[in-house]
A and B are shown apart, each in its own frame.
Chain A
Amino acid sequence: MDIQLKSRVKCIDRPVGEVSRLILSQTTREITDMVVRLDANGREIVVPVDGNTSVRPGPEVVLLYPVDRLEGMPGFRRGDWEEVEVAEFAPHLHVHQGEVLAKFPEAERDLSRRRFFFWASNAIGALITLPLVWPVFKYLIFPLYKGFDNAWVRLGKADRLPAADSPVLLEFTRTPKEAYMVNTVKKTAWAVKASPDLLKDVYKGDPERVFKEADGQPIWENKGVEYIVYSGKCPHLGCAYRWDETDKRFICPCHLSIFKLNGELVSGPAPRRLDTLPVRLADGQVEIIDAEYKAGEHGKKRIV
């Protein structure tokens, strides 16, 4: 039979008090002691539950020794004990939350020791994670900033372009090596065989004429070529725009940016004029460098 709270406690000679708490060993998950509140002075003492303890119906706990033995037993100090959760002790004990206490570990009283181990563990955690930060960052950004591809790409035979000042959309195929495989992408650009007036008009600005590497090294200048090629992407947000033959202007269907034949913005949300590409004539073929510029920005910033 189990010891219950509020049971009367008797020594062999006379009654002494009642059970006020039970004490559990977290190692064995058995009740090892009980706290007895003495009738005489209300003092609480810790009494071991062992072979000398017997439980009788009543309920009544009988200690099989005389009352003098209780003198030597330690007083109950609440701070030495902690409440344990019901879940932690076995159901066969038939006790409820708050009735059972366990010894608070002696070692855990020393706060400076706890603080030392806490910081030591944190330092070790940092030793494991911090060395990974840089490698993981480098690993993830590896393909982000590649150099530009300045290879010349054939657009088509020059003599296939119609009379001066009427643009045509030319499709070309690129096969860039992307990471671990060769990818095939179809791209477009607008090409114009330009009259001297148009050439002057378009190439008057430096950014339209001179092309530079990311580090500022000039790579090409559109000089002495009678062709103009515009990147097929609208500088607003990258849509494919069209040529409107009746009004002689480029129109982007996405947000209705309108550009003149010389690339200048007439109206609409585009932040800048059309992007000219480096162009040259080789073996009767129009060739370009397939550059791309960041959409939506005022300046012409190369990204591919």
Chain B
Amino acid sequence: MLDIVYKWIDERINLKGLQNKMLNEPIPGGARYAYVFGSALLFIFAMQIVTGILMMFYYAPTVDHAWQSIRYIMEDVDYGWLIRGIHHWGSSAMVVLLVVHATQVFLWGAYKKPREMVWIVGLLLAQVVIGLGFTGYLLPWDQKAYWGSVVGIEVAGVVPVIGDFLARFLKGGTSAGVLTLNRFFVIHVMILPLSLMGLAGLHLFLFRKAGPAGPYKGEPAELERKKEFFFPKQVYKDSVFMLMVFAALVGLSYVWPPELMSKANPAASAFDPEPEWYFLAIFQLLRLPIFAGQWGEFVGAIVVPGLFFGLLFSLPFLDTRKERHPLKRPIATGGLVVFFVSMLVLMGIAVSTREALFHHDEKLSALGMEIYYTKGNCAACHVIAGLDEEIRGAPGGAIGPALTDEADVDKRQVGGFLEWQIMHLKDPAKLSPGSIMPPAAAVGLTENEMIALVHFLGDHTKGLPGKGMEAFKKKLETASAAGAKP
């Protein structure tokens, strides 16, 4: 039956010829596992399309339902965790394989003539993939998504002259909200995937025109003798690797399903500005003092990555030697090593400072609690529902925002929490424009007291255990009695 259909089509459009052209691509030196990465990227992209479409069956790209609909997918819909898990881990896997693929092409010198155009289109593809990661990050509309993306958009804002326009364009106005989600959604599900398809098609077309580069060493006559067609052995090797990638995605989704933090709250004074891991290096770069200030940020966030990509784009024109052996190209290979080492160092610092910044510390929290209700007199303006009554016998003031939920802000990546809170204590109006909260210095808080205060804010739902609380209240009473005396 299938044969008849095949014949029928073949008679009309020469299916056989088309098939031969696609499958009988000669690979110098024969099929290898070293060549599987490009196909694997295409495979993950296909998986992303499938899982992405499936998620759109339930996802609602509006600020009042995006988060709820993701929670619905994760908690209610059968296998929703699997679909979202594959999509979530797939995006990371794509970045990883992209780096591997590009590194291999770089090391093997496969970007050299006549494959310059393949390389350039490949770099464009890399940028589309990064853009997909960035825009997709916002869509669940949880705290992490919201604050991560806001920071990202602000980075676009530091570009001189057009920065403000760019940031407004991405946000759909002056602040991140309703239209921002719409814009990110349409960029993520329409514009970038279509660009990716077009560019990937071009990438493949150019690649087939120029032919595979083959191994970087070996006698041409020998490689010619050992050549094999793409089909079937390379196809087989590609599929073996695809199966491994697939199993890894499913396994990761099962063991670590993607999380969904509390719903985005633009008013929450605590946020966690950590981006996806593949932006961590640049995130850390921006923390370096030389990249502080508006110009510094521009240099760190735009110029440095821009120069890096510029260098990659011009690589085939800078390096025109025929030599492809990585050991005989010390500058290129050395540069690659330097690049990886610095990326890893930056990421390492970002991760380790994140962990060092905040950890539960009962003593510190207790001290912070004392400062909150005495020296800082924070309760005059803020409410912590429940705790206020227990400690002062009355709810706190309503001048400032309630801090009741402050402790619910995700603590897993609290580097941002501590940093932001301290920054905010020092100069509230800078981070929350219009705030009338007095800066910490005006209240006479030291750096250590501020740290204790933030630990309390991040911890307070736990309160103090029974006995500690009694002792604490007594201490407060004597303190206020002493304060009342003069």
A, B co-complexed = yes
Pick the contact of B224 from A27, A108, A120, A143 — CB < 8 Å?
Answer: A27
CB pair A25–B220 under 8 Å, yes or no, is yes
Residues of A within 8 A of B214 (CB): 27
Interface residue? B3 (CB, 8 A)? no
- Is the beta-carbon distance between A28 and B224 smaller than 8 angstroms? yes
Closest beta carbon of chain A to B58's beta carbon, Å = 7
Measured CB to CB, the closest approach of chain A to B218, in angstroms, equals: 9
- Of the candidates B72, B225, B235, B240, which one forms a contact with A179 in the assembled complex, judged by CB atoms under 8 Å apart? B72
Stretch in A35-43, A121-129, A193-201, A292-300 with 4+ CB within 8 Å of B: A121-129
Hey, which chain B residues are within 8 Å of A120, CB to CB? 236, 239
Chain B 355-367 against A: per-residue CB contact (8 Å), 1 yes, 0 no? 0000000000000
Contact between A181 and B229, CB atoms less than 8 A apart: no
Does A185 sit at the interface, judged by CB under 8 A?
A: no
- In the assembled complex, which residues on chain B have CB atoms less than 8 Å from the CB atom of A138? 78-79
Contact indicator B239/A124 (Cβ below 8 Å): yes
Report B208 CB to chain A, min CB distance, Å: 9
In B12-37, the 8 Å CB interface with A consists of: 21, 26, 28-30
Distance from B27 Cβ to chain A, minimum over Cβ atoms (Å)? 9
Q: Are B83 and A121 in contact (CB under 8 A)?
A: no
A180 touches B26 (CB 8 A): no
Chain B: interface residue total (CB-CB under 8 A) = 44
Chain B residues 223-266 with CB under 8 Å of chain A are 223-229, 231-233, 235-236, 239-240, 242-243, 246, 250
Q: Which of A99-107, A162-170, A248-256 contacts B (4 or more CB under 8 A)?
A: A99-107
Contacts of A127 in B (CB 8 A): 243
Q: Mark A78-102, 1 if CB is under 8 A from B, else 0.
A: 0000000101100000000000001
Assuming the contacts A29-B211, A124-B240, A180-B71, asked whether A139 and B228 have C-beta atoms less than 8 A apart, the reply is no
Q: Which of A121, A142, A181 touches B236 (beta carbons < 8 Å)?
A: A121
Q: A28-B220, A128-B243 are in contact. Are A108 and B76 (CB under 8 A)?
A: no
Q: How would you classify the secondary structure of chain A's contact residues: helix, strand, loop or mixed?
A: helix
Q: When chains A and B are docked, how far (Å) is the Cα of A121 from the Cα of B230?
A: 13
Inter-subunit contact B235/A121 (CB<8 Å): yes
Contact status A139-B239, CB under 8 Å: no
**B211 engages A26 (CB within 8 Å):** yes
| A181 partner residues in chain B, CB cutoff 8 A | 65, 68
Assess whether B80 is interfacial by the CB under 8 Å rule: yes
Instruction: Decide if B239 touches A105 in the complex (CB within 8 Å).
Output: no
B225 / chain A contacts, CB cutoff of 8 Å: 103, 106
Number of A-B contacts (CB under 8 A): 101
B60, B232, B242: the one within 8 Å of A117 (CB)? B232
Residue A140, interface by CB 8 Å: yes
| Chain A residues closer than 8 Å to B83, beta-carbon distance | 135-136, 139
Query: Across the interface, do B236 and A180 meet the contact criterion of CB distance under 8 Å?
Result: no
A32 near B: Cβ within 8 Å?
Answer: yes
- Provided the pairs A25-B221, A105-B26, A180-B69 are in contact, do residues A125 and B239 lie with their beta carbons within 8 angstroms? yes
Residues of A within 8 A of B239 (CB): 120-121, 124-125
A85 and B26 CA atoms in complex are apart in Å by 12
Tell me how many residues of A have a C-beta within 8 Å of chain B: 35
Interface string of A1-37 (1 = CB under 8 A from B): 0000000000000000000000001111100100000
Residues of A within 8 A of B226 (CB): 106-107
- Indicate if the CB atoms of B79 and A135 lie closer than 8 Å: yes
B72, B83, B232 — most chain A CB neighbours (10 Å): B232
A29 to B78 alpha-carbon distance, docked (Å): 54
| Measured CA separation A103–B211 after assembly (Å) | 16
B228 near A180: Cβ-Cβ < 8 Å:
no
Whether A105 contacts B243 by the Cβ 8 Å rule is: no
- Given known pairs A128-B246, A181-B65, the reply for A135 and B78 (CB within 8 Å) is yes
B457 located at the interface, meaning its Cβ lies under 8 Å from any Cβ of chain A in the complex: no
Q: Which residue of A lies closest to B77 (CB)?
A: A142
B82 on the interface (CB 8 Å rule)? yes
Query: Looking at the complex, which one of A87, A108, A121 makes contact with B228 (CB distance below 8 Å)?
Result: A108
**In the complex, chain B residues whose CB is within 8 Å of the CB of A106:** 225-226
With A117-B232, A180-B60, A180-B68 in contact, do A27 and B78 touch (Cβ < 8 Å)? no
Residues of A within 8 A of B57 (CB): 139-140
Task: Report chain A residues within 8 Å CB of B21.
Answer: 85
Asked if B209 CB lies within 8 Å of chain A CBs, one says yes
Cβ–Cβ contact B228 & A107, under 8 A? yes
Identify the closest chain A residue to B26 (Cβ): A26
Could you tell me the distance in whole angstroms from the C-beta of A100 to the nearest C-beta in chain B?
14
Most chain B CB atoms below 10 A, which of A88, A102, A107, A139? A139
A142/B76 contact (C-beta < 8 A), A25-B220, A27-B220, A121-B236 known: yes
Q: Does A56 contact B (CB under 8 A)?
A: no
User: A251: shortest Cβ distance to chain B, in Å?
Assistant: 40
Q: Which chain A residues border B30 with CB–CB below 8 Å?
A: 107
Q: Are B68 and A135 in contact (CB under 8 A)?
A: no
- In the bound complex, how far is the Cα of B56 from the Cα of A262, in angstroms? 46
B336: interface (CB < 8 Å): no
A102 contact set on B, CB distance < 8 A? 26
Report A121-171 residues with CB < 8 Å from chain B CB.
121, 124-125, 127-128, 131, 135-136, 138-140, 142-143
Q: Which residues of A contact B28 (CB under 8 A)?
A: 26-27
A127–B236 Cα distance when bound, in Å, is 13
Give chain A residues whose Cβ lies under 8 Å from the Cβ of B80: 139, 142
Contact assessment for A139 and B68 in the assembled complex, using a CB-CB cutoff below 8 Å:
no
B243-A108 in contact (CB<8A): no
Shortest CB distance B239–A (Å): 4
- Please give, as numbers and ranges, the residues of chain A lying within 8 Å of B77 by CB-CB distance: 139, 142-143
Nearest CB in chain A: distance from B115 CB, A: 12
Q: How far is the CA of A105 from the CA of B79 in the complex (A)?
A: 46
A136 touches B54 (CB 8 A): yes
Query: Given the complex, which residues of A lie within 8 Å of B26, measured CB to CB?
Result: 26, 102, 105
Check B78 against A26 for contact (C-beta < 8 Å): no
Q: Mark A265-301, 1 if CB is under 8 A from B, else 0.
A: 0000000000000000000000000000000000000
List 10 interface pairs A-B (beta carbons < 8 Å), by A numbering: A26-B28, A27-B214, A27-B223, A136-B79, A139-B80, A139-B83, A143-B77, A180-B71, A180-B76, A181-B68
Q: Which 9 A-B pairs have the closest CB atoms?
A: A117-B232, A180-B72, A135-B79, A138-B78, A180-B68, A27-B28, A124-B239, A117-B236, A27-B224
